[in-house]
Structure 1
Amino acid sequence: MPDQTPRLDRLAMAATAAIGAEDGTHWGSAGLVAPGWALTAAHVVRTAGPDPYRVTLWNGRTVPARTAYRLAGVPERGPVPNESDIALVRLLEEDVEHGCLWFSDRGDPPSRDVRAYGWYSAGAGRAGELLEWNGVCTVAGNDGPYSFRLGPQTEIPKGASGGPVVDLSLGALVGLTKASRRSSEGDIKDGGRAVRATLLREFVSPVVVDADHVLAPDPYHALICAHDRWHAERDLREGWPDVQGDLPGNGLPDSPASWSPGDRLELFELLAALPAPEDPTLVRTLLREVFHDRVKFPAAASLRHWRDGHGEIHQHRMQFLIEALPYLRYAKLVALAVETTAAAAPVATELARWVRRRKRRLGLETDVSVDGVALPQRAEGAFNLIGGRGSTGTRRASTAATVPPDPLEGVEPLHVSALDARPGDGPSVLLELEPVLWSASVSFHWRLRVLDPEHDDDAVVDAEDTGDGIPPDELPLRLQRPLARLFLQLDTLERHAPLEVVLPPEHFDLAVHHWLPRAAVTDLDFSDPACWPLGVRRQVVVRDASRRGRGDTLWEMRWKDTAAAAPLRALPTPPPGRVLRIAGLTGAEPDQVPVVCRPATDATGREVLRMALESGHGICLWNAGAHPPDGCDDHCRSFSGHAAQLLADARSAAELPERLRVLRERIHRRDPHAYWAKPLALMYDDADRPLPAPTGILDAP
């Protein structure tokens, strides 16, 4: 196999640009990825904001440019977090001739050997002159899910930050240089860091920096389509696929049975003409069908474009005797998925024809494997909720309306369809909040997992579980990006992934359902469902941290009985005018659910919740707001009465999370009949879906 490095260098350097100020000051480097578009590290262009700067191409031509998009979470100064250190730059001159990197469609970590490219400013007698640079680096390991570390054998010069990192096994862009080497304890040096290029997948709804130069409502899809069209037009000869064919990471040696870079190029051109998948889980669903449901694809994997699904096939392709088969099965499924869309029908027909032509090279024995694929059955029907998703007749109450004297009279019933989301019927996000024991004030470590009934991998996908923790009032902002990232991957048109919050009982009152998914600039933002508080748009329930990783026979038995009971009855706890005793909770009937009119921060409320947990209860309603200091009053009785009605109206315990969400949406829409539920919180601790055991040991101070 010939050494392809010189050819790869020529292609990569032709698509590597320098970025700097109008006065010629060099800031960093960038990789050109589509006509008129470049990727760089956000810290390289941070100080420019929406102001223009200049980009210098490999041939010395300088063109004006602006930052068009970046991700949220970029501070005004100081280090930029790995998960935010990427920006999309727009060249302001039309029809600028330049090369384009090949953007990897794969989401797995890069290979061992990569090559970094960039420009740096010469010193000494050549001060101000830009010099091109490249160097081979060994991937020393992943630095979380958003970046990887480079080995110490290569010295990355100042000014190369933001430049492309190309996988030498794939011949594809897999990262952007973030930082050069640094010394750590014991004078051990690493070679630097790079952010993973898959961060580009999060440009579905990025921060718009320059509104005059935007791509489309979905910038990621638009950019990838432009990228693939450019390569289809320019790479027919002596381009990226030609080099990739001789690299070890692109499948088996070329033969009709293999899947070549040329096949990939042709398929990507067709996929680039299709609209983006409306349902972000559709690509993952098609992949499972490709592999006859024998391969589980993590719910946390971000598969936003049809080509992202193509990239996931590589690591599982050898489950078929013929390497090309899973790719052709996937292409046929994509054609079936879009053929009923009027705008996409002609391209779907052309895609199906292309699959037939490519299949003929494999022989007749593959006909059934490809032609026999069919779309999996998907649930049909819309939500039918008063004030809920999909409702067409939501009644808006006048803001001047007054609450009737008897709060239970005239209360608008909650209509919950049998098709509504139920906990456990799909993936949910698990947020574990662990109090830091050694902290002088309350603070938390956090971990995020995805619980998916179709995938048994409940590994931690993001975490901040070292150091002194995060104070409660800082948690909403710190978790905005990590939560938004997971919801973006899991939400569908029919279902918003529930959020299950794992807490010790004494912290059950933490109002996660009030957190905002993004920063709201004005009150008008709250008319956009994307800006609604978490508990308004999705189910948010509490789970008991003490039950992680262990079985509890009493909990399991009571859960099974309560889940089968209908209707449900309220069990006022503590009983009015009586002493609280655990026997009253232990001896509760299966259809009885504890209703507590006190918060968990109240001494009595905390004791009640403790007894309820010890008695095996998996469902509990309580008032997370303030309680009168002198004992219960009419507000408590009103709260308990409404909670009892909520339970009585539920056809099963599984409806409670969605019924509470609908109430929260009605409060958001200023329905006075729902205001009683403003402090209402729900523990929904499903014994059929036990929590995973804690991961690792937290750092001690």
Structure 2
Amino acid sequence: MPDQTPRLDRLARAATAAIGAVDGTHWGSAGLIAPGWALTAAHVVRTAGPDPYTVSLWNGRSVPARTAYLLTGVPESGPVPAESDIAFVRLLEEDTDHGCVWLSDRGDPPSRDVRAYGWYVAGGERTGELLEWNGLCAVAGNDGPYSFRLGPQTEIPKGASGGPIVDLSQGALVGLTKASRRTSEGDIKDGGRAVRATLLREFVSPVVVDPDDVLGPDPYYALICAHDRWHAESDLREGWPDVQGNLPGNGLPDSPASWSPGDRLELFELLAALPAPEDPTLVRTLLREVFHDRVKFPASTSLRHWRDGHGEIHQHRMQFMIEALPYLRYAKLVALAAGTMPDTASAASELARWVRRRKRRLGLETDVSVDQVALPRWAEGDVILRGGMNNTGVLRHSDGKIPQDPPPAAEHIHVGVFDARPGDGPSVLLELEPVLWSPSVSFHWRLCVLDPEHDDGAVVDSDESGDGIPADELPVRLQRPLARLFLQLDTPERRTPLEVVLPPEHFDLAVHHWLPQATVTDLDFSDPTCWPLGVRRQVVVRDASRRGGGDPLWEMRWKDTAAAAPLRALPTPPPGRVLRRAGLTGAGPDQVPVVCRPAADATGREALRMALESGHGIFLWNTGTHPPDGCDDRCRSFSGNAAQLLAAAGSAAQLPELLRVLRERIHRRDPHAYWAKPLALMYDDADRPLTKPAGVLDAP
């Protein structure tokens, strides 16, 4: 096979631009991604704001440009976090002729060998001259879910930041240069860092910088469609697919049975004519159908465009004897799904006709495998929501205004109830580990996805270094990571529950009160996307000491309580009596402890500890204040209302949703629900024990 590097270089260089001030000062580099659009690192252009600057193309032409979209979390100064360091740049001259990189559709890590491209300002005899640069780099490993680390083989010059990084096995853009070589701990030098191109999928609700906002409500989808249409029109000969066909990372050698870059090019053009999936989990569901539900696709993987699903097939395609089969099955399912959307009949039919034409090249033995695929029933429109809202939204942006409470309601408010049970779909798991050596209450944190369809429980985001995050900073620090997972996992029919893992002494940490965004613009409290976490979704607490399972008393009591109905309250401690373990150990399967004190209270903490040691996986408690001189009428009212809540539950599995409903009623200013404002629920499912975290935390 001849070396394709020179041909790949020509294509990549033609799609690499320099970014700088109007006065000629060089800021960094960019990759041209679609007609009139470039990608760069956010730190390259953040100081420009909405003001125009200059993009210099490979042919020497300079055109005015403006930052169009950023992700949230870009600070005004200092390092930009990897999860935010990407920006869309719009060229302001229409019909500017330029090349475009080919964006990888795959979500797996890049190959070992990549080549970085960019521009830099020369020194020495050529001081001040803007020079083109590229260099071979080895991928030294992943650096979290949003970036990867480059080995020290090539020194990346200052000014190359934001330039494209092309996978030499795929022949596709897989990242943008983030940082050049630096000396790290122990005087070990690395080659630099890169932002993964999959960060593009986060542009579902970005910070809009360009007042024209030309890409509309879903910039990612609009940009990718423009990208694929450009390649379909421009790569007819000597383009990216032609080079990719001779690279080892693009499947088997070309034959009717293989899936070629040319097939991919044609399919992507057809997919670009379709609207975005109506449900953010639809692509993942179609993929499971492609592989007869034998392959698990992690719920934490963002699959927002039809082409994202195509990219996930690559890792599993050899489960079919004919490489093209899973791709054709997927394309047929997309055509079926698109055919159910309004105003898409023509585009969906064109895709279905293309599938039939491509299938004929494989022979009659493939007819059944492709023709008999069918949409899963829920994807055809079955709704399991009872009386509630089935609309999802996106987070809005901050301008420093604090939300104001709506006026109180005069009458009892009825809200929708979701027909959902814990464990019937993915949950987000937030593990908060107190830092023992920290002078104040601080936590390390981990985020995982618990999915019955994919049970690896892998950590998808974390911060386990240093002195941790102070408790009062957790709501703001975790807004973006939580919002990202909920955006990926929520469906019109189901809002993903949040399970918070804490040691008992920190059970009062009121995560259900956290806002999805600290400050919002023109907040309308009828907008569910702005509600506190516990109002929008089920939020329950789990015991950190039970990670790993193996407690027979807990498992036995859980099984009995889960089958019991109705449930009865077990006031703990009993009114006017001393707290004793025997009362908790001897409780019936239908009895749920109700503690009217917080975990911060010595008696409350002891009551919660005894409940846990007695095997209770479900109990209610008061996270608010307690009268200093013992229980009074407020405690009796709290316990009585909790008893009514338990009696109204058809089963223990309904408690998380009944509590969410109460929190929504409080949010809507229903005075009849105010008693539940400090109410919290321990729901520690012994049928879904948590795995112990791998490794140990860093010591100072």
**Could you say whether these structures have the same fold, taking a TM-score greater than 0.5 normalized by the shorter chain as the test?**
yes
Q: Which residue of 2 aligns with 1:61?
A: 61
| Deviation of the 1:214 alpha carbon | 3.2
- Rounded Cα–Cα distance in structure 2 between residues aligned with 1:485 and 1:521: 17
Match for residue 653 of structure 2?
A: 654
Q: What is the one-letter code of the residue matched to 1:283?
A: V
Q: Does 1:357 align with 2:353?
A: no
Residue equivalent to 1:679: 678
Provide the rounded CA distance (Å) in 2 between the counterparts of 1:210 and 1:474: 31
How many angstroms apart in 2 are the aligned matches of 1:107 and 1:42? Answer: 21
Residue correspondences, number: 686
> Whole-Å Cα distance in 1 between the matches of residues 119 and 413 of structure 2?
65
Aligned to 1:110: 110
Give the C-alpha shift of residue 472 in structure 1: 0.4
Cα distance change on mapping 1:620 and 1:178 into 2, 3 Å: same
User: Quick check: 1:163 aligned with 2:171?
Assistant: no
- How has the CA–CA distance of structure 1 residues 468 and 367 changed in structure 2, closer, same or farther, with 3 Å as cutoff? same
Q: Give the match for residue 500 of structure 1.
A: 499
Q: In the alignment, is the contact (CA less than 8 A) between 1:385 and 1:662 conserved in 2?
A: no
With over 3 angstroms needed to count, the CA separation of the structure-2 counterparts of 1:445 and 1:105, relative to structure 1, is same
Checking the alignment, whether the CA contact within 8 Å between 1:436 and 1:443 is kept in structure 2 is: yes
Q: CA deviation at 1:78?
A: 1.0
| 1:266 CA displacement | 0.3
- Looking at structure 2, the residues matched to 447 and 475 of structure 1 have their Cα atoms a distance apart, in angstroms, of 12
Displacement of 1:522 in angstroms is 4.2
2:412·2:671 contact (CA, 8 Å) conserved in 1? no
For residue 519 of structure 1, give the secondary structure of its aligned residue in structure 2: coil
Contact 1:339 1:349 in 2 (8 A): yes
CA contact (8 A) 2:570 2:591 kept: yes
Find the aligned partners of 2:13 and 2:120 in 1 and give their Cα distance: 13
Secondary structure, in 3 states, of the residue corresponding to 2:697? Answer: coil
Q: Indicate the residue corresponding to 1:615 in structure 2.
A: 614
What CA distance in whole angstroms lies between the structure 1 residues aligned with 2:483 and 2:409? 36
Cα 1:214–1:629 shift into 2, 3 Å: farther
**Matching residue of 1:556:** 555
The answer on 1:270 being equivalent to 2:232 is no
Q: Which residue number in structure 2 is paired with residue 530 of structure 1?
A: 529
Q: CA deviation at 1:22?
A: 1.2
Deviation at 1:694, TM superposition (A): 2.0
Q: Which runs of structure 2 are paired with 1:261-300 in the superposition (5 Å)?
A: 261-300=261-300
Equivalent residues of 2:523, 2:530 under 8 A apart: no
Q: Does 1:368 align with 2:368?
A: yes
Report the counterpart of residue 306 of structure 1 in structure 2: 306
- 2-structure distance, mates of 1:265, 1:12: 18
Q: Which residue of the partner structure matches residue 477 of structure 2? A: 478
Q: How does 1:492-641 map to 2 (within 5 A)?
A: 492-522=491-521, 524-641=523-640
Shift of 1:10: 0.9
- C-alpha distance after superposition, 1:613-665 (max 9, x if no partner): 01111111111111111111222111111111111111111111111111111
* TM-score (normalizing by structure 2): 0.96
CA distance in 1 between counterparts of 2:362 and 2:406 reads 67
One-letter amino acid of the counterpart of residue 215, structure 1: L
Runs of 5+ unmatched residues, structure 1: 392-396, 403-409
Query: Is this contact kept in 2: 1:116–1:166, CA < 8 A?
Result: yes
3-state SS of paired residue (1:166): strand
Cα contact 2:415–2:665 (8 A) shared by 1: no
Q: How does 1:380-529 map to 2 (within 5 A)?
A: 380-385=382-387, 399=407, 416=417, 420-522=419-521, 524-529=523-528
Shift in Å, 1:487: 0.9
* 1:26–1:399 distance in 2 versus 1, CA, 3 Å: closer
CA distance in 2, matches of 1:459, 1:655: 27
Structure 1 residue aligned with 2:669:
670
Alpha carbons of structure 1 residues 619 and 352: separation in structure 2 relative to 1, 3 Å: same
After superposition, give the CA deviation of every residue in 1:650-684 in whole Å (9 maximum; x if it has no partner): 11111111111111111111112111111111111
Question: Structure 2: which 5+ runs fail to align?
Answer: 393-404
Cα deviations by residue, 1:9-51 (Å, 9 ceiling, x for unpaired): 1111111110011111000000010111110001101111122
Shift of 1:66: 1.1
* 1:476 counterpart SS class: helix
In 2, distance between residues paired with 1:416 and 1:569?
A: 22
Indicate the residue corresponding to 2:154 in structure 1.
Answer: 154
Q: Quickly say closer, same or farther: Cα 1:688–1:367, change in 2 above 3 A.
A: same
The one-letter code matched in structure 1 to 2:673 is A
Give matches, 1:34-53, under 5 Å.
34-53=34-53
1:406-442 superposed Cα distances (whole Å, 9 cap, x missing partner): xxxx85677746xx12100000000000001111211
For 2:413 and 2:480, how far apart are their aligned partners in 1?
36
Partner residue of 2:317?
A: 317
Cα offsets for 1:306-338 (capped at 9, x unmatched): 000000000100111100000000000111111
Pairwise CA RMSD: 1.7
Q: 1:281 to 1:36 in 2, by over 3 A?
A: same
Shift of the 249–521 alpha-carbon distance from structure 1 to 2, 3 Å rule, reads: same
Question: Secondary structure of the equivalent of 2:385?
Answer: coil
Aligned to 1:199: 199
Aligned counterparts, 1:80-229, within 5 A: 80-229=80-229
For residues 63 and 156 of structure 2, the distance between their equivalents in structure 1, rounded to whole angstroms, comes to 26
Distance in 2 separating the partners of 1:182 and 1:425? 46
Distance 1:519 1:93, change over 3 A: farther
1:524 match: secondary structure: coil
Shift of 1:456: 1.5
Match of 2:76 in 1: 76
**Contact kept? 1:150, 1:192, Cα under 8 Å:** yes
Name the TM-score, length of structure 1 as normaliser.
0.96
Whichever residue aligns with residue 457 of structure 1, its letter is D
